[in-house]
């Protein structure tokens, strides 16, 4: 699986809500879509903070508002409260709702679980560049969507 | 976008999230990541019911009926077609200036429809 991901280095957000918004903005959706995706991801976080490793959060959902995989890796050197524990890396993804069901969504989670559990988590926390972070997760780096 | 339509879309995405967490394979992978899909699904169900209670009765009942029948009650319009039943929508639908300002349903299958970005 070689999916494309964006990266947002040096995130400025100081809390979970702002961090999710900061990353979603990188996808350049219209405002209403941004808001609805924010609600979906935040609701999931309220049900259970998606901390998948010390220092790493993974907000994710499927939504009828996207028609392709939207993946972004965010990094904050100072850390973002999530909200009880601080995270430095955020792997956010939104996958489409397809008639074929959730198998592709499941494959992506499986891929990430396998990669993070086999040393990827430690590696991505010390990744020095967006392209390095993307390659650790075996994604192709699609750039820093807005800034490059 | 019409606020009621936004709620219907959110309700749909929440239902997808809950059904994903109940999916055996997804649940297994979420557990491998250290997450707790079962308790998350329970919490989401409460939030789902809370959201549903704020939706106008008529729309809520129709949503439940459509979701029960088709598995999905809200679909995007793609290339002037309802993406649920693929029926071409009447011209009046896509020439309208106020797309998404009203809660509309597909004249063929009855699903709630919305226009994407
Ligand atoms: Zn239809």
What is chain A's pLDDT, residue by residue, as a tens digit (148 residues)? Answer: 589 999 999 999 999 999 999 999 999 999 999 999 999 999 999 999 999 999 999 999 999 999 999 999 999 999 999 999 999 999 999 999 988 889 999 999 999 999 999 999 999 999 999 999 999 999 999 876 554 4
In the prediction, which pLDDT does A12 show? Answer: 96
Q: Which residues contact residue B109 at a Cβ distance below 8 angstroms, ignoring those fewer than 6 apart?
A: B70, B82, B84, B85, B87
Q: Which residues contact residue B49 at a Cβ distance below 8 angstroms, ignoring those fewer than 6 apart?
A: none
Which residue range forms the structural domain that includes residue B28?
A: 3-115
| B109 contacts chain A (CB < 8 A) | no
Q: How many domains does chain B have?
A: 1
Give the containing element (helix H, strand E) for B9.
Answer: helix B3-22
Which residue range forms the structural domain that includes residue A28?
A: 4-141
Residue A86 domain-assigned (yes or no)? yes
Residue A117: closest C-alpha in chain B: B33
CATH number where B105 lies: 1.10.287.1490
Q: Please give the structure tokens belonging to residue A92.
A: 């956010």
- The conformational region for residue A40 under phi > 0 = left, psi -120 to 50 = alpha, else beta, is alpha
* Residue B20 clears pLDDT 50, i.e. is over it: yes
Give me the residues paired with residue A95 across strands.
A62
CB-nearest partner of A48 from B10, B12, B39: B39
The whole-model pTM stands at 0.94
Distance B113 CA to ligand 1 centre (A): 8
| Closest C-alpha among B15, B31, B47 to residue A109 | B31
Measured between beta carbons, the chain B residues lying within 8 angstroms of A53 are: 34
Q: How many domains does chain A have?
A: 1
Distance from CA of B91 to the nearest CA of A (A): 23
* Residue B28 clears pLDDT 70, i.e. is over it: yes
Question: Would you say the ipTM is above 0.85?
Answer: yes
Residue ranges near ligand 1 (ion) with Cβ within 5 Å:
B 82, 84-85, 106, 108-109
Residue A147 domain-assigned (yes or no)? no
What letter would DSSP give residue A120?
Answer: I
Residue A93 domain-assigned (yes or no)? yes
* Residue B23 clears pLDDT 90, i.e. is over it: yes
In the prediction, which pLDDT does A147 show? Answer: 47
């Amino acid at each position: 699986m070689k999916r494309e991901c964006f990266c947002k280095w040096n995130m400025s957000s100081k809390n979970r809500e702002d961090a999710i918004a900061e990353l979603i903005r990188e996808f350049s959706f219209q405002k209403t879509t941004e808001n609805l995706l924010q609600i979906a991801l935040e609701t999931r976080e309220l049900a259970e903070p998606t901390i998948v490793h010390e220092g790493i959060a993974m907000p994710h959902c499927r939504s009828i508002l996207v028609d392709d995989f939207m993946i972004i890796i965010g990094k904050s050197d100072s850390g973002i409260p999530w909200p009880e524990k601080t995270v430095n890396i955020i792997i956010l993804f939104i996958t489409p709702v397809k008639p074929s069901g959730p198998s592709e969504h499941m494959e992506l989670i499986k891929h990430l679980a396998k990669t993070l559990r086999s040393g990827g988590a430690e590696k991505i926390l010390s990744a020095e560049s967006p392209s390095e972070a993307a390659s650790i997760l075996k994604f192709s780096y699609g750039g820093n969507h807005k800034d490059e | 976008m019409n606020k009621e339509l936004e709620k219907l879309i959110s309700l749909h995405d929440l239902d997808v999230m809950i059904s994903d967490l109940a999916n055996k394979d997804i649940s297994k992978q979420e557990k491998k990541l250290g997450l707790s899909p079962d308790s998350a699904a329970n919490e989401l169900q409460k939030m789902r019911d809370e959201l549903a209670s704020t939706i106008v009765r008529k729309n809520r009942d129709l949503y439940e009926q459509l979701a029960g029948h088709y598995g999905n009650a809200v679909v995007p319009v793609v290339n002037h077609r309802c993406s649920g039943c693929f029926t071409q929508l009447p011209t009046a639908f896509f020439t309208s200036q106020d797309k998404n300002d009203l809660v509309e349903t597909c004249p063929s299958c009855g699903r709630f429809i919305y226009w994407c970005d």
